[in-house]
Amino acid sequence: MRIVHTYHSYYPAVGGLEKVVQKLAEEQAKLGHEVHVITSQASAKDSPVEEELNNVYVHRVKAWRLHYPDLTIPRGLNEGLLRGADVVHAHSQNSLFNMIIAKRAKSLGAKVAVHFMAVNAFGDHPSILVRALGPMYGELMVKEALKVADLKLVKSYRDMMILRDEFEVEAGNLHYVPDGVDEELLTMPSLESEFRRRYNVDDDIVLFIGRLHPLKGLEVLLKAVPYVVKEKPRVRFVFIGPGDTKRYIEVANKLGVADRVLFLGFVDEHTKIGAIDSSVCLVLPSICNYVEVYPMVISEAWTRGKPVVASNVGGIPYRVKHMVNGILVPPRDPKALAEAIIKLLEDKMLATKMGLEGKKELETWSKIASTLVNLYKGV
């Protein structure tokens, strides 16, 4: 098959969905399919316009970006590629870039698959502008995507329920296909001792992985640190991810906990897995529905047998089962977050049990890639 994936950002740009599209495209290429990715130059301005990466053909088109990444508008559509595609897979209907390309692909005779994500998820966004305009934009994008989608995919049961109940999509026309995990993460030996030596950390570790962005709730987690340290002084909070650390270091200084936090910035995969192996738990303190559809870091923590403490937002509560494979807490509540972290620090056996329970939930990327190819063939 000739498969075309589309998303407004792709490697070497970093991010959860960027990684998802890359993993899926590369696994489908391993299955012997001709796989292409249409993305924009906006997130990788120094990368070639056309290149082959791990047997995937990457096409970066010129685009305008209207402040928000989802508001990226392609200035070229590569119509020859779209016309010859067996399927065009758009990752997120909220991306204007995706929907412009998907609609054109449909008009040229290609079959279109759409992974619906963060449906009707703008209502609790902290930005007044997004709360005011986002719901209208989001509803319009869903309706446009439903018109062009020959294959309707979701990776969150939250989105499945909303599409069924509010947009009247028949349940039989919705296919739940989550993201996968790297098979080696399920079996590779622990990297804990290497990580601890490298960063000279002997204390218990509580870990955050993600963009250093206000929507990810970093300030909520930092405000939880004094509560935790009061009960468990020998703990370090390790933050991994791209973004400006200055703001959060200032918050830590004001709270008097700078010696209890460690910001590592963006790290390679080997270091990240070492951090997970060294941790008692992973924390996702995100503050709104839009930012969490199917967080890959939850899967990565579970591959290494680690539990998750997470805000009850977006798709998270449809994956994290409270007191089974993790702990759910109300968003924006530092004290509740601290209490959950303390519970796991005080009961390491419970933490291990939860992490291993989460491991049972996972599928490998090779399995997910094959599942999608079979669904493509069905349309």
pLDDT of residue 126: 87
Asked if 214 and 353 sit in the same domain, the reply is yes
Asked if 114 and 230 sit in the same domain, the reply is no
Asked if 141 and 216 sit in the same domain, the reply is no
Distance CA 73, CA 98 (A): 9
Write the single-letter amino acid at 354: M
Asked if 157 and 206 sit in the same domain, the reply is no
Strand partners, 120: none
Asked if 299 and 319 sit in the same domain, the reply is yes
CB neighbours (10 Å) of residue 370? 14
Strands annotated E in 11-74: 34-40, 50-53, 56-61, 63-65, 72-74
Asked if 216 and 342 sit in the same domain, the reply is yes
SS3 (DSSP) at 285: coil
Total residue count of the chain as it appears in this document: 379
pLDDT of residue 105: 97
Residue with tokens 């290609």: 110
Asked if 161 and 219 sit in the same domain, the reply is no
pLDDT of residue 130: 85
CATH assignment of the domain containing 168: 3.40.50.2000
Q: How far is CA 239 from CA 144, 335, 337, 352, in A?
A: 38, 19, 16, 21
Asked if 198 and 262 sit in the same domain, the reply is yes
Q: Is the dihedral of CA 26, 9, 167, 143 positive or negative?
A: negative
Q: Where are the alpha helices (DSSP H) in 149-295?
A: 157-165, 192-199, 218-231, 246-255, 269-278
pLDDT of residue 301: 98
How confident is the prediction along the chain (379 residues), in pLDDT tens digits per residue?
999 999 999 999 988 899 999 999 999 999 999 999 999 998 888 899 999 999 999 999 999 998 889 999 999 888 999 999 999 999 999 999 999 999 999 999 999 999 999 999 888 888 888 888 889 999 999 999 999 999 999 999 999 999 999 999 999 999 999 999 999 999 999 999 999 999 999 999 999 999 999 999 999 999 999 999 999 999 999 999 999 999 999 999 999 999 999 999 999 999 999 999 999 999 999 999 988 999 999 999 999 999 999 999 999 999 999 999 999 999 999 999 999 999 999 999 999 999 999 999 899 999 999 999 999 999 9
Asked if 208 and 239 sit in the same domain, the reply is yes
Are residues 4 and 92 in contact, defined by beta-carbon separation less than 8 angstroms? Answer: no
pLDDT of residue 209: 97
Asked if 233 and 367 sit in the same domain, the reply is no
SS3 (DSSP) at 153: strand
Q: Which residues form the domain of 309?
A: 184-359
The model's pTM is 0.92
Total domains, the chain: 2
Asked if 81 and 190 sit in the same domain, the reply is no
Q: Which DSSP string corresponds to 58-91? A: EEEE-EEE-SSTTSEEES---HHHHHT-SEEEEE
